[in-house]
Amino acid sequence: MPTLTPDMVPGLVAGGASCRMDVDVAPKFKVGDAVTARDINPLSHTRLPRYIRGRTGRIARDHGVFAFPDTSAASGTHSDPQHVYSVRFEGSELWGDHANANACVYIDLFDNYLELA
């Protein structure tokens, strides 16, 4: 691995490092689908927050194909590409009677986190 030097900083900052992957992977879900977040409880890295597990929402948007962080964190490289969706969860589904009026959460979830409701 090269040494990070000051002259490399502007290019790195401006270029970034997208986790989007240019591979053809079929989506498991489509906009409008009702989906339930799986109740997984890994001891390793995950981007599925606890408050979403087991809850049901609706796919609002398909963001395309990204590396799966749960796998990439262990492998050290972008791996396990799959679709990421913006999923809308109603406040009442997440918080029951304690939900605010007329409020919802949109969260980005990977194929591996979801199953059809």
Partner 1 sequence: MAHDHAHNAPPSETAMRVKALETLLTEKGLLDPAAIDALVETYETKIGPRNGAKVVARAWTDPDYKARLLEDGSAAIAELGFSGVQGEDMIVVENTDEVHNMVVCTLCSCYPWPTLGLPPIWFKSAPYRARSVIDPRGVLAEFGVELSDDVEIRVWDSNAELRYLVLPQRPAGTDELSEDELAALVTRDSMIGTALAEAPAG
Which positions lie near partner 1, rule CB under 8 A? 1, 3-6, 8-10, 12-20, 47-49, 51, 63, 66, 69, 84, 86, 94-95, 98-110
**76 Cβ neighbours under 8 A, 6+ residues apart:** none
Burial 56-84 (b: 16+ CB within 10 A, else e): bbbbeeeeebbbbbbbbeeeeebebbbbb
Least distance in angstroms from the C-beta of 64 to partner 1: 9
Least distance in angstroms from the C-beta of 99 to partner 1: 8
Least distance in angstroms from the C-beta of 35 to partner 1: 15
Which residue lies nearer to partner 1 by CB, 29 or 66?
66
Burial 25-38 (b: 16+ CB within 10 A, else e): eebbbeeebebbbe
Which residue lies nearer to partner 1 by CB, 8 or 23?
8
Which residue lies nearer to partner 1 by CB, 30 or 45?
45
Query: Under DSSP, is residue 9 helix (H, G, I), strand (E, B) or coil?
Result: helix
